[in-house]
Structure 1
């Protein structure tokens, strides 16, 4: 069971000669603000946000530097996260020029460098990415009016007046993609928790809603993220440096149903009622595995079934189907084109040629290959799992997925809930394609996943898609009750 999806949403090549970070010189500091990050009223982190005019290779830019540090407990083990971004924009209109991003998630380092260029009348963001020593490049076409996501805050401040609203495409520095950002400005009466606030801005970025309470200068006094039960509270440098009180988000995310589920190995079909604390019900995946039977008020009645692969149905790999190409190609976290990944896949698969037999065999071998969990680490890529041989369900799934992709077998990652030890908790497994999608769980060593696997998200190992997993998790975090309505057994 994963301890990672509940914190993944908070974790958010600097060696290039053409865009060397050390060439940036600070000219004039415009502002420097500090914030405490409170989760469930506990201080778990801090943020420093500085804006200044910087000189880069003889040209002046508006620089926004954002630095965040946070600590959480995962099953009693402390996990430290750190991230820092610097974006360079045109002073007048915030036109993006380039950026650097670095993070350290439980000791796992990620570095990204991006340069915005014009090529054939198109604006292209050229990226150099380093994930645990694996370096890749990527080009992303961005709209002409796109700005960096951290520049959206400056854009809002420049237009702070009652009734103002706007929509802008935003470049997500950590996820290296472009999303829509919206904001609405309203007058606001100050409250004790956020004194001196006179404006309220409601901002939605990549589906995540923030409520910012601002003073007359435009800077936020408080930033409230309702789906996370988190608040960024403005403070001074001295207080920001004070110690943290990390909380165990994994333990808080566990959901105990109204009754126990017995004999899961024989369970074939499960019907549950999910009751949320809001009338705004989340989207629920409906596919061959699960079906929504009823939506009523704050509740969704869901039926999940076990689908066992037909081992007599033979289908060989590699699969050559353009419609499935997305699910075979390597991704940032599934480096299926790595020689090490391909060699291990061949070793695990042996002489097998059938997809179902191979998927079962590889999944089983991954379960043996990973030697233990490391709760202090961040989200590992497949290559990092191969080299370190540690992890929990996310690592089991991402390695199995990469190995199967390297053999030409389409896969997709799955995030959801699973029932273990009397409670539902966030979990990861995967689907593979053998004429249809079949689910397999290398962590729990299940060739056909049991019906307590509630599917919340499916996708591939790109940050832009994994963000969807995080958003889905947020909709369930401390917000749902689960009732067991019916269980059918073999």
Structure 2
């Protein structure tokens, strides 16, 4: 599989691990007073009634719109983009994976370079679609190519059906040189993470919208492949079976250029659609280099042996509970409504072997962990004063994880290094320097005595967030603290982001924690579910708090994977340690419980 669909799905998984966004809408357009040379700006996703002038376009600039609509020059006739809607098509028969899809159709017009629609499914169950297209465009006398990949998934968690969307785009020269990049990912109610980039020599100059302004630039090596050129690499390289080619690719959701390696496995004869004859296909395997300790699973792409167009893509995605497939089809078939969304909670949680009554008030739990799919299982989970790895068997890839409760400063504990400024400053996600967060923070600590300690203030914040947030309202996913301060709704990520921001607003250093939390089940066998809480630095120690429970700390049912300050971070890369644990598919049993 070429990397094009993988990172979009990666963004979906990153946000769905904790909570799923309900039809998040793209943010307001870039400040008209300070536009980039080319504006990457969508119509409101999911709103077919949005008027063409909702986002006024600046004359002389290229405007890129999602869903495969043609890029247009302002002052030339354009048709505003609307979300794909099911339309009439010939009767569809069951195809690969049991999904009813017809084969793709021809190019719609002369300006279209390509227009690919893929139905997305997990083990034969439809989850949505991906549209990947490219159009010719002009800016003055200069010819350009504009590519857009748009993903729309409909899934469920705890029975609630929600929609996720994301898009990537590039502006390229006919020779394949990338000039401009764009990335939008829904992260919260009426909020999206938006990063645009302009290539300037060996650097991609990043400009974020709204509070994302100031996002870090990233190195830009020669030959980065964009949305338009990428599917043409199969034909361009024309390698033999067993041979490979490499290319650098920009992954917008983590704002990094990574190396991709595609290997031709050989030729196969497959019938992709019902009542269609088998055709000769070339099978490629694509691998992404590691980003830290994480890499996407290897993926497979089948391309037509004559045209070299991609027709089918598959990769193993533990977060969706199976094999994710993308099969080329018509727009109507791909964008048809998802009738039975997959339930993600069960596949995104780790089943325990027995119940632990009163775990949040217990002192210690020893877990036995087996992680056969990880190369270094002993580093899967964090090690700190509250949590240690013991009895590691490197060959069997098993170990014991000893987790103790943390309820405030520990007398006589060794002082830990003082935190840097990154744990006190306002940043993109933990942004406290605004009236909403500061107002809530002031309300939380109101009434505390003058001699109140940092720990006292942090506990007061935990209590206030717990009492004022609307729990389990599935409309947020990694929303920024200022957004949560307005909505006061969401799940664990929103509780953690807001509480961490409020702590910083009252002078207490903070960071978020990614991990697992004990979750009971009706059948008596509980889960360890992916969760987020936060830690504060008080009395020379990093101390845990969880505003979803407000217990003045956490028990041994909170298993830590990693922590992060989110300093200078405008992507979801800090969640990669969680994806690594998910990909390792660990099995966990309870060895001992100490009250």
Shorter-chain TM-score tier: 0.7 to 0.9
Distance 1:35 1:187 in 2: 22
Q: Against the structure 1 CA distance between its residues 298 and 385, is the aligned structure 2 distance closer, same or farther, given a 3 Å change threshold? A: same
1:235 equivalent to 2:254? Answer no
1:126 equivalent to 2:126? Answer no
Maintained 8 Å contact 2:360/2:556: no
Match of 2:342 in 1: 247
Distance 2:480 2:374 in 1: 37
Match of 1:433 in 2: 537
The count of corresponding residues between Structure 1 and Structure 2 is 474
Given the two structures, how large is their TM-score scaled by the length of structure 1?
Answer: 0.85
- Please state whether the residue corresponding to 1:209 is helix, strand or coil: coil
1:467 equivalent to 2:577? Answer no
Match of 2:300 in 1: 212
- Please state whether the residue corresponding to 2:548 is helix, strand or coil: coil
- Please state whether the residue corresponding to 1:345 is helix, strand or coil: helix
Distance 1:439 1:412 in 2: 10
Shift of 1:377: 3.6
Match of 2:39 in 1: 20
Distance 1:450 1:193 in 2: 54
Q: Against the structure 1 CA distance between its residues 281 and 355, is the aligned structure 2 distance closer, same or farther, given a 3 Å change threshold? A: same
Distance 2:367 2:527 in 1: 14
Match of 2:388 in 1: 291
Aligned pair partner of 2:589 in 472, 483, 487: 483
Aligned pair partner of 1:346 in 431, 442, 457: 442
Shift of 1:383: 1.2
Match of 2:250 in 1: 171
Distance 1:139 1:58 in 2: 32
Maintained 8 Å contact 2:145/2:228: no
- Decide which structure has greater strand share: 1
- Please state whether the residue corresponding to 2:458 is helix, strand or coil: helix
Shift of 1:399: 0.3
Q: Against the structure 1 CA distance between its residues 470 and 8, is the aligned structure 2 distance closer, same or farther, given a 3 Å change threshold? A: farther
Match of 2:368 in 1: 273
Match of 1:97 in 2: 179
Shift of 1:57: 5.0
- Please state whether the residue corresponding to 2:191 is helix, strand or coil: strand
Aligned pair partner of 1:136 in 213, 237, 262: 213
Distance 1:164 1:243 in 2: 38
Distance 1:275 1:246 in 2: 30
Shift of 1:330: 2.1
- Please state whether the residue corresponding to 1:249 is helix, strand or coil: coil
After superposition, residues 410-449 of structure 1 pair within 5 angstroms as 410-421=509-520, 422-434=526-538, 435-449=540-554
- Please state whether the residue corresponding to 1:484 is helix, strand or coil: strand
After superposition, residues 275-424 of structure 1 pair within 5 angstroms as 275-276=370-371, 278=373, 280=375, 282=377, 283-293=380-390, 294-295=392-393, 296-310=395-409, 324-350=420-446, 351=448, 353-421=452-520, 422-424=526-528
Q: Against the structure 1 CA distance between its residues 222 and 405, is the aligned structure 2 distance closer, same or farther, given a 3 Å change threshold? A: farther
Maintained 8 Å contact 2:457/2:506: no
1:182 equivalent to 2:260? Answer yes
Q: Against the structure 1 CA distance between its residues 233 and 147, is the aligned structure 2 distance closer, same or farther, given a 3 Å change threshold? A: same
Match of 1:110 in 2: 192
Distance 2:367 2:464 in 1: 33
The one-character-per-residue Cα deviations of 1:197-241 (angstroms, maximum 9, x if unpaired) are 313132216421341323233333332232333222222323212
Q: Which deviates more from structure 2 when the two are superposed, residues 101-110 or residues 41-50?
A: 101-110
Gaps of 5+ in 2: 1-13, 41-56, 63-70, 73-109, 273-278, 521-525
Shift of 1:405: 2.0
Distance 1:15 1:174 in 2: 22
Distance 1:467 1:159 in 2: 31
Q: Against the structure 1 CA distance between its residues 374 and 160, is the aligned structure 2 distance closer, same or farther, given a 3 Å change threshold? A: farther
Q: Against the structure 1 CA distance between its residues 204 and 117, is the aligned structure 2 distance closer, same or farther, given a 3 Å change threshold? A: closer
Match of 1:455 in 2: 560
Gaps of 5+ in 1: 315-319
Distance 1:471 1:183 in 2: 23
1:159 equivalent to 2:265? Answer no
